[in-house]
Structure 1
Amino acid sequence: MVHAYLNLYPQLDKSLEGVDIEVSGQIISIPSVQGRSSRFEFSIYNSSTSTNGETILLPKKVRLNWYGNVPALQLGEHWQLRIRLKRPWSYANPGSFDYEKWLFEHGIRATGYVRSKGNNQRVHATSILNPTYFLRATLNQKLERTKGKFSAVIKALVLGERGQMDSQRWQVLTQTGTNHLLAISGLHVGIVSGFIYFIVLFLWKRSEKLCLCVVAQRIAALAAIFAAVFYAMLAGFSIPTQRAMIMAAVVFLSVYSMQSLRAWNILSIALLCVLLLDPFSVLSPGFWLSFLAVSIILFSIKGKPSKSVGWYNLVRIQIVLGLGLLPLTLLFFQQASLISPLANLFAVPWVSFLVVPIALTGSLFLLISETVGSWILECANILLEIFWAVLDFLHALPFASLHHAIPIWTIIPAVFGILLLLSPKGWPGKTLSLVLLSPLVFAQVAGIPENDLRLTTLDVGQGLSVVLEIGDQVLVYDTGPKFSSRFNAGEAVVVPYLRHRGVDSIDTLIVSHGDKDHAGGLQGILTNINVEHLLGSHIKGYQHDQTRICKAGMSWQWKSVNFQFLHPPEITEDKKTLSSNNSSCVLLVQHPSGSVLLAGDIEKPIEKQLIDVQADLLDIDVLIAPHHGSNTSSTGAFIRATSPDYVVFTTGYRNPYGFPDEKVVSRYKEFGSDLVNTASHGMITFNFSDKNGLQLLPGYREVRQRFWHSKF
C-alpha cells in the first residue's frame, strides 16, 4: 500500500488539465524522435503551482510530447517549459495494452505536451556530475551518427531504447518467439556478467601474488556484479534490467561468499529482492515470464546443472521452455509462436554470444574512437543481417504462430499438466498431462447464442470502430484512427479485441469513408487478420480480392439480422461533389429485439435527405451519433425521426474538437435518450436477444477499474 501511494502521489489535479503550466525540470529519458515530434519523460522540480490564489501540487514525473520545430533534446538536460497536462488515460478494451498500468509502473502520473508559444529554454546541458545520464546521452548521440541498417536494434541492445523499432520487425520477432532477445533482460545481463567473471578469474589466477591477496573467485564475482550494474546503467535501470541485475547480483554474491547455494535458493532470494524493490512488478507479464522461464529450466534439469552440455540438452531446453511458457503466453497475448524452440535454438546463442558483446564493445569504443567503434558496429550489423534473414524465413512458414484466445480457467489444469509432463521418468500419471493440457488447446472463449446480436463500440479514442457479432459471423464497421507509421487503432485495438473474442476472420469489413479517424486502422487489420469482404465509399488503393462500393439499397441477411445501406446513393456525375463526411456509408442493422443505425460522419444535409427518403426506416433503438456528436450533425429533426433510446458518442478523452458538442448533448437529453460515451465508459456493448430483449452492458472502463486507473 505504501509503494502504491508513493507511485500515485501526487496525482494531477483535475483543475490543471488543459491549463498552461510553467515548469522547470530535467529530461530523464532518451527522447524518442519521430518525424517532427519528440517524446520524453520529464522530472518536474517545482512541486506546486498556483491557480486563482490556490497552491496545487504537481506530479513529480510526467511524459511529454513536443511537436513542430523541436530543438535537439538530450537526456539529462535541464529545461524551463510551458506545458499542458492531462491525467493518465488509455483505451479501455479487452485485449488492448493498458497504457495507464504502464505509466503507473514507471511512476508517471500525467501526460501532456510542450506549448510551442511558451518561453521554452534550455537551462543547463547534461552534466558529467550525473555519470548515468551523461554516458547514456553521449552514447545515444554517437549511435545516432552510425547509420547502419540495424542501428535501431543496436540501440535496443545497448541502451534499452526500443522506440525506433518499426512494427514490421516487432511482428517478426513476436511470431518467432524471439522478441525477448531485444529486451536487456536476465539472459543478456547474465551472459555479459558471466563473461566478465571468467575473464577476470582467468587473468587473476595468472598472478600468484594477487591470489594471495584476494581469492580469485571473489574478485571475479565483484567484477561480474560491477558489469551487471554497468550494463543496467547503460539501459537506464529500466524495470526488466533491474530484475536482471538483481538476479545476477544474487548469483555472484553467493559466489563471493563462497557459499554453495542451491539454484532454487538463489532464484527465491532474487524473487524476494525484486518484490521488495518493486512489489508491483507482478503487474508486468515480463516478471512472470522471466521467473517462470528460469523455474522451468531448473525443474527440467532437476535443480542442478547437467553434466553433459550438448545439442541434445539445448534442444530439450528450448522445447521445454516453449511448452512451459505456452499457457501464460496465450493468456497475456492471445498468441504463441510454434517455431519458438527452433528460432531460439539459433537466435539465443547468435544474439547473446555474438551480437550483444560486439555491439557493446563497438558502442564503448565510440567513446574513444568513432572510426574504430563504427567498424566494430558494422560487424554487428552484418551479424544482424544474417539473424534477420533466418527469422524472415521462419516467420514466413505457414505454421509459424498460433492465435488462440483461452478461458482463464484453463491455466490451472495446464500448469499441473506441464509439471507432470516435465517430471522425472517414472513419475506416476504422466499420461494424465495430456488430459490436463487439452482444455488449453480445445477450450473456446464463450461465444454468443446463435441468433443473438452483440454490438460492441470499441474505445479507439477520437475515431470509430464497431464490431457486430451474430453467432460465428463478424462484421466490423470502421477501423479507428492512425496516429503514426508505428501506431494505428486497427492493430492496437481492433485486432487484439477480436483475438480476445476468439475471432480469427472478419466476414465483412466496412469503411464508412476515408477520413483517418475511421479508415486509419484499415491496413493494420488487413495485415493481421483475414477479411472475407471489404466494403466502403473510399477503399481504392487497398489490396483485397473482394472489394465493393457501398450504396443505398444494398442489403443482406445473417440469420435473423438484416443489414441495409441507406446512404450514399449510387455515385453519378452530379453527386461526385459529396464531401468525405457526407459520403459515409450509413448502415441500418435490424434484429427482432431492436435496431441500430451506424451513421458515420454524415452532416445536416444528409440527415435531411435520409428523413425525406428513408423516414420509415429511421425509427431505431441505438444510434451511433453522427460525426462523434459534432454540431454539424444531430439536428432536432433527425433526432425526432430516429427517436433513439440509446445514443453512443465515440470520442477521445479531452479531444481538441470539444466533442460531443454541448448543444448536441442537450438536444438528445431533451428527447429523453440515454447517452454513453467511449471516452468516459470505455468499450460499450449492447446485447440484442430474443429472450432478454435489448440490454446495455456496463462500460468496460467501469468493469476493469483498478486503483491505478483514472476515474472519469
Structure 2
Amino acid sequence: MAWKLSFCAGVGSLLLLPALFAANTLAAIGVVSVLLYLWAFSRSRRWPYKALLLCACFALGSAYAQWQAQLQLERRLPETLDGFEYVIEGRVHGIVARSEGQQFGALRRKQQFDFHLHALRLLNQAAGSTAASNAPSNVVGLKRLRLSYYGVQRFESGQQWRMVVRLRSPRGWVNPGGFDLAKHALGRRIHAYGYVRESHPVLQLAPADSMSLRLARHRVLQPLIASLQYGPILNALLLGDKSALSDAQRTLFIETGTAHLMAISGLHIATAATAGALLAKSLLWMLPRLLLFVSVPTAVASGAVPAAVFYAALSGFAISTQRALVMLLCAAAAMLLHRRSSPWSVLCTAATGLLLFDPLALLGGGFWLSFFAVAVLLLAAHGANNRPITVQKKPVFLTWIKLLFSAQCALLFGMPLIQLALGLPLAMVAPLANLLAVPIVSFWVIPAGLAGLLASYLHNGMASALLALADKGLLLVMHCLAYLQQTPLANWRIEGELAGVSMLVAMLAAVVLLACRKGPLVPLAALLWMVLFAMPLLNLRGGGQLARGDISLWQFDVGQGTAVLVQTAQGNWLFDTGGTFGFGRDAGSSTLVPALRHMGIAALDAVILSHADSDHTGGAESLGSAIDVGQWYTGGSAVRVLPAGVHAKPCKEGVAWRRDGVAFYFLNNGAGGQSENNASCVLMIRSMSPPVASSLDATNAARLHRSAGSVLLTGDIELDSEVDLLPLGRRALAATVLMAPHHGSKTSSTASFLDVVKPGVALFSNGYRNRYAHPHAAVLARYRARDIQILRSDYHGAIRLDFKAGRWRAPHCARPARRHFWVYRQRPIRCGCQLSKFPPSGCNPQADGGGL
C-alpha cells in the first residue's frame, strides 16, 4: 500500500507547482524513475531500498501528472486568439442544458452543451481546405468546447453539426473566495468556451446516435417526469441533468448542505450496487442449487457491478460516478479473486486506479470530498470496533438507523476539515439536514426511481407509478429542508479558512475523536475542535485587523462593471455592485456574495449605487437578499433598480459621515438634467490618521498631508462632471487613489482633472477584451505621462490597497498572486510598489503593470 500512497502523493504534488517542467525533463524523470523502481524492487527489502522504491513512485506519479496536464494546456485556446470566429464541425456530447431568462431586456432561450471537435477552420478562409492548414498552429489541438446557443435550433446529444462560433479562452475572474474557471476547465478538459453565431447558418450533418443509452432513456422519461411536482430533481438524480432545477431549489440545497444528494454521486452508485447485490442474493435464496456453481461473494459482486455500471452509464459516466465506480470495481475484484484486502488497501487501490485513468481529477473538489469521506468512515469504524464496518446478516431497522447516525456523526467531525481546506462554505444546519434527507433519498427515492427507470423498458404505466412514488419521497425531503432553512441555525455558516497550525491541530483533534472512543485525550480533542471551528464562525481570525484611521480598499474583478469594497476598523461599505449577465446570473450572486462571506463580512453599513447603468447596479438585488445592508445611497436614477420597500438616500453634495477615524462625503451635485453617467455619485474617502512623511522633503510632505489616506471613487463621470468638480480645487479633490472615471473611456480622465487630483495610483475596472475597448489608449497615455501607477482588473484580477499606520502599503493583486500553472498569464505582470512616495520614484509604471 505504501507505493500506492507514494504514487498518489506524486500526482497530488501537481497542485503545488507554479509551472510545469519541460517535456524533455519529464521524459527523463519518467525513465529514471522506472529504472530506479526496477532496480530497487529487485534488491533486498531493507529500508534503504524501500525508500528508493517510494521515491521512484513519487517521481513517476509527478511526471505522469505533469505530462497529462501539459497535453491539456497545449490544447487550450491561447488568450491571443480570443474573439476569433471559426467554422467548426463536431458532435454534441452529454446532456444539453436548456434555460430561459432575461438578457439585454428580452426573454431569451439558452442551450449549453459540450462539443467534441472534428474539424476547424477560420471563418474567412477557403472552405475546401483542411482545418489544419487554415487554423493557427496553436488552435489545431482544440478537442472539447463548451458552447452556448440562443437561437431556435434544438440541439440533442450525439448530433453532428457544422456552425460558426466565436471562442474565448477559459480565463475567468480572480476574486477572494471566487470560482476558478481556468482550474475547472482544465479538470474537465474543456479547451475553450464560446457561443454560436446566429447570423451564420447552423447545419446538422448527422442525427443523434440511436444506440445512446442515456439519450434513449432521456427521451422516454421526459413525458413521465414532466407532470411530477419535483420532476427536475428526479431528472438530476436519474440522468444527471440539472439544467431544469430552479434557482430557489439550488439555493435551498446549498444553504442546507444537501447539494450532493441532488446529483448522481457515490451515494447513489452505492445504492444501485446494493440493490443489485440484494437481487443476486435473492436469486440464490430462491435457487439454492446455484451455490454448487458460484459462491455467495462472487454472486454479490456479479449483481452489484452491472447495476452500478448501468446507473453510471445513465449519467454519462460523470466524474463523480467514475470515482465511486472505480472504488466498487476494486472491491469487487478482491471478492472475485477471493483475496482478503483491508478497506484501506481497497481505498488506496481505487485512488491509484482513478489517478492513472485521470490524474487531473484531483483538480476538482469532488475527488477530495469523495475519498476523504470514505477515509473518515473507515477511521470511525476502526475506532468503534477495531475492524471495518460490516452489515449484519439480518439487519433490523434500528441497526440501520444506528449505522446512519454513527456515519453522520463521523462526517460531522471529519468533513469540515476538507471543506474549509478547499474553501467551500460550511452550513451548520447541514448535519441535521443530511441526517433527515440521506435515509429518505437512499432507501426511498433512489430505489423507487431506479425501479421506475427499469420499468420504463417494460411498461410506461408501471414506470409512471414508481416515479410518482419517488416524487412523494422528494416531497417529504423538500418539506424537511424548507423547514430547516427557516430556522436560526441556517443563518450560521462558516466561510473562513483554517490554515497552517490551525488546520494541523484540527486534523489531529479529528483523528483522536474518530479513532478513539475513550481516553483522556478525547475531551481535550473535542474542546480544541470546537474552538478552532468557532473562530471563523465568530470572525475571530487573527491578522489583517484595521486600527482607527486605517483603510482597506478592494476593487473586485467583475468584468466590465464596478464593485469596490471599503473597510475601516469596524465598518464595511460597497460602492456599486457589478453587472448582470442574464439568465439569473449577476455579479452579486456569482462574485460579491461569495467574496464577502469568504472575508467574514455578514453585513454592510451601506451600499452606494453610483447611477442606474446595469454594469454598476446589476448585482444589487441578489446582494441585498443575501447580505444585510444598513443604508442604500443612489445616484442618477439608480433608485428604480431597488426592490419595493427599500428606502434609499440620494448621494448629493452635503451628505457625509465619519466612522473609525475615516471621513466619507459626496462631492457631486447630481443635477437631474445631466446624463446618467454624469449624474454618478462621486465619493471622497479620507483618513484622519496623520501621514508618515519622515523621509520626504517639506514640499512633498505638504502634498502628502493633503492627499495621504484619501480615495476618490468617481463612478462613470465624464467630461462635463469633471469640469463641474474642478472649482472645488486641489484641497478637496486631492487623492492618493483614484478610480479611473468611466472605466477609462476617451470622454473622461481629462488632463486638467488629473492635474488637480494628482493620484499616485489609478484603478481601472474593465472586462477582458471588452467591446468598448476600455481603457482607451489616449487615456492610458495621460496616466503614464504623469507617472501614475495603473492597476487593471482585467489583468490583475481583484486588487487590494491598504492604508495602515499613516502609510499606503504595496498593492496586492489576486491574479499575479495565484502561482499555479493553470492561471492564464500573457506575460509576467507585477502588481505595483509602495504608494507613500510622491512621485513614486523607483516605481516604473511600465514594469509594474502601467503599460498594460
TM (norm. structure 2) is 0.78
Aligned partner of 1:572 in structure 2 is: none
Cα deviations by residue, 1:224-261 (Å, 9 ceiling, x for unpaired): 21221121111111111110111222222223223333
Displacement after TM superposition at 1:55 (Å): 8.2
SS of the residue 1:316 aligns to:
helix
Displacement after TM superposition at 1:74 (Å): 0.5
Gaps of 5+ in 1: 570-574
Q: Which moved more, 1:287-296 or 1:189-198?
A: 287-296
Q: CA, structure 1 residues 147+536, in 2 after alignment: closer, same or farther (shift >3 Å)?
A: farther
Displacement after TM superposition at 1:54 (Å): 6.9
Cα deviations by residue, 1:392-427 (Å, 9 ceiling, x for unpaired): 001111012323413412211001111112233443
Q: 1:672 aligns with which of 769, 780, 787?
A: 787
SS of the residue 2:631 aligns to:
strand
The CA distance in 2 between the partners of 1:94 and 1:76, in whole Å, is 38
Cα deviations by residue, 1:274-300 (Å, 9 ceiling, x for unpaired): 222222333322222222222222222
The CA distance in 2 between the partners of 1:162 and 1:634, in whole Å, is 46
The CA distance in 2 between the partners of 1:71 and 1:52, in whole Å, is 27
Number of matched pairs: 703
Cα deviations by residue, 1:122-151 (Å, 9 ceiling, x for unpaired): 10111135x3564365357657x7243322
1:564 aligns with 2:665: yes
Aligned partner of 2:819 in structure 1 is: 705
1:295 aligns with 2:381: no
Displacement after TM superposition at 1:367 (Å): 5.4
Displacement after TM superposition at 1:700 (Å): 0.7
The CA distance in 2 between the partners of 1:531 and 1:330, in whole Å, is 26
Asked if 2 retains the 8 angstrom alpha-carbon contact of 1:139 and 1:363, the reply is no
The CA distance in 1 between the partners of 2:300 and 2:421, in whole Å, is 41
The CA distance in 1 between the partners of 2:303 and 2:813, in whole Å, is 54
Aligned partner of 2:41 in structure 1 is: none
The CA distance in 2 between the partners of 1:435 and 1:390, in whole Å, is 31
Q: CA, structure 1 residues 702+204, in 2 after alignment: closer, same or farther (shift >3 Å)?
A: same
1:552 aligns with 2:552: no
SS of the residue 1:631 aligns to:
coil
1:20 aligns with 2:101: no
Q: CA, structure 1 residues 84+553, in 2 after alignment: closer, same or farther (shift >3 Å)?
A: same
Q: 2:216 aligns with which of 107, 111, 135?
A: 135
Displacement after TM superposition at 1:211 (Å): 3.8
The CA distance in 1 between the partners of 2:582 and 2:447, in whole Å, is 33
Cα deviations by residue, 1:467-514 (Å, 9 ceiling, x for unpaired): 111113111111112223432211221122222222222122212122
- The residue correspondences of 1:426-505 to structure 2 (distance < 5 A) are 426-437=518-529, 438-442=531-535, 443-450=540-547, 451-505=549-603
The CA distance in 2 between the partners of 1:133 and 1:384, in whole Å, is 23
Aligned partner of 2:388 in structure 1 is: 304
1:246 aligns with 2:326: yes
Gaps of 5+ in 2: 1-65, 101-108, 121-130, 690-707, 827-852
Asked if 2 retains the 8 angstrom alpha-carbon contact of 1:50 and 1:56, the reply is no
Identity of aligned residues (%): 31
- The residue correspondences of 1:108-507 to structure 2 (distance < 5 A) are 108-129=190-211, 131-132=212-213, 134-135=215-216, 138=219, 142=223, 146-208=226-288, 210-302=290-382, 303-305=387-389, 309-333=399-423, 335-366=425-456, 370=460, 372-400=462-490, 401-409=492-500, 410-437=502-529, 438-442=531-535, 443-450=540-547, 451-507=549-605
Q: Residue type matched to 1:3 in 2? A: Q
Asked if 2 retains the 8 angstrom alpha-carbon contact of 1:629 and 1:661, the reply is yes
SS of the residue 2:388 aligns to:
coil
Q: CA, structure 1 residues 34+612, in 2 after alignment: closer, same or farther (shift >3 Å)?
A: farther
The CA distance in 1 between the partners of 2:451 and 2:459, in whole Å, is 12
Displacement after TM superposition at 1:333 (Å): 4.2
The CA distance in 1 between the partners of 2:229 and 2:158, in whole Å, is 28
Displacement after TM superposition at 1:114 (Å): 1.1
Q: Which moved more, 1:642-651 or 1:676-685?
A: 642-651
Aligned partner of 2:185 in structure 1 is: 103
The CA distance in 2 between the partners of 1:695 and 1:356, in whole Å, is 56
Q: Residue type matched to 1:138 in 2? A: R
Aligned partner of 2:683 in structure 1 is: 587
Q: Which moved more, 1:676-685 or 1:382-391?
A: 382-391
The CA distance in 1 between the partners of 2:484 and 2:137, in whole Å, is 61
Cα deviations by residue, 1:99-127 (Å, 9 ceiling, x for unpaired): 11111100011111111122321101111
Q: Residue type matched to 1:305 in 2? A: I
Q: Residue type matched to 1:176 in 2? A: T
Asked if 1 retains the 8 angstrom alpha-carbon contact of 2:271 and 2:446, the reply is no
1:655 aligns with 2:655: no
Q: Residue type matched to 2:206 in 1? A: H
Displacement after TM superposition at 1:613 (Å): 4.8
Q: Residue type matched to 1:678 in 2? A: S
Q: 2:115 aligns with which of 39, 42, 45?
A: 42
TM (norm. structure 1) is 0.93
The CA distance in 2 between the partners of 1:14 and 1:426, in whole Å, is 58
The CA distance in 1 between the partners of 2:206 and 2:451, in whole Å, is 30
Q: CA, structure 1 residues 509+331, in 2 after alignment: closer, same or farther (shift >3 Å)?
A: farther
1:539 aligns with 2:639: yes
Asked if 2 retains the 8 angstrom alpha-carbon contact of 1:444 and 1:502, the reply is no
The CA distance in 2 between the partners of 1:371 and 1:615, in whole Å, is 80
Q: Residue type matched to 1:269 in 2? A: T
SS of the residue 1:236 aligns to:
coil
Cα deviations by residue, 1:350-408 (Å, 9 ceiling, x for unpaired): 11221122223334544555555444333333322221111000111101232341341
The CA distance in 2 between the partners of 1:364 and 1:581, in whole Å, is 60
The CA distance in 2 between the partners of 1:686 and 1:597, in whole Å, is 13
The CA distance in 1 between the partners of 2:814 and 2:299, in whole Å, is 55
Asked if 2 retains the 8 angstrom alpha-carbon contact of 1:66 and 1:113, the reply is yes
Q: CA, structure 1 residues 391+426, in 2 after alignment: closer, same or farther (shift >3 Å)?
A: closer
The CA distance in 2 between the partners of 1:165 and 1:354, in whole Å, is 21
Q: Residue type matched to 1:539 in 2? A: V
Q: CA, structure 1 residues 53+480, in 2 after alignment: closer, same or farther (shift >3 Å)?
A: closer
Q: 1:78 aligns with which of 160, 180, 183?
A: 160
Q: CA, structure 1 residues 633+148, in 2 after alignment: closer, same or farther (shift >3 Å)?
A: farther
Aligned partner of 2:703 in structure 1 is: none
Asked if 2 retains the 8 angstrom alpha-carbon contact of 1:490 and 1:522, the reply is yes
Aligned-pair Cα RMSD in Å = 2.5
SS of the residue 2:746 aligns to:
coil
Asked if 2 retains the 8 angstrom alpha-carbon contact of 1:455 and 1:466, the reply is yes
Q: Residue type matched to 2:774 in 1? A: F
* Max Rg structure: 2
Q: Which moved more, 1:96-105 or 1:152-161?
A: 152-161
